[in-house]
């Protein structure tokens, strides 16, 4: 399996776990325009347990931001988070998030 395939196989779980993590959601909702957070093997203590082992084992790094626009449709009122792989910016996943739940 190539590194790109590893990123593709894991990005869905990363998007889900980060999107439901109270700590991560709080940080993401505070981001300013053009800012992003790093989700990385270099900070394993910050990772949700479900995704930690794969990220650390494969030395993966993802980024997350609130994008200015999104090619996917989400319900009105949701805030979109965009996740992408550091080495492969075309490996992307979006999630729709209720800003009233933190």
pLDDT digits (tens, 9 = 90+) for 7-29: 999 999 999 999 999 999 999 99
CA–CA–CA angle 32, 37, 39 (5° rounding): 165
82, 67 in Cβ contact below 8 A?
Answer: yes
The Cα–Cα gap between 7 and 69 comes to 23
Q: How many domains does the chain have?
A: 1
End-to-end alpha carbon distance in the chain? 36
Report, in angstroms and rounded to the nearest whole number, the Rg of the chain calculated over CA atoms. Answer: 13
Q: Find the domain containing 39 and state its range.
A: 3-96
12 is a domain residue? yes
Is the pLDDT at 102 greater than 90? The verdict is no
102 is a domain residue? no
The pTM score is 0.94
Closest Cα partner for 91 from 49, 63, 54, 50?
63
67 is a domain residue? yes
pLDDT tens profile 32-81: 999 999 999 999 999 999 999 999 999 999 999 999 999 999 999 999 99
57 is a domain residue? yes
| DSSP type of residue 41 | T
């Amino acid at each position: 399996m190539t590194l790109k395939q590893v990123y593709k196989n894991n990005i869905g779980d990363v998007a889900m776990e980060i999107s439901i993590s109270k700590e991560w959601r709080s940080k993401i909702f505070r981001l300013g325009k053009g800012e992003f957070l790093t989700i990385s093997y270099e900070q394993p203590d910050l990772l949700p347990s479900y995704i930690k082992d794969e990220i650390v084992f494969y030395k993966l790094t993802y980024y997350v931001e609130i994008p200015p626009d999104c090619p996917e449709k989400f319900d009105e009122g949701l805030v979109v988070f965009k996740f992408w792989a550091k080495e492969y910016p075309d490996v992307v996943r979006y999630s729709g998030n209720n800003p009233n739940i933190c």
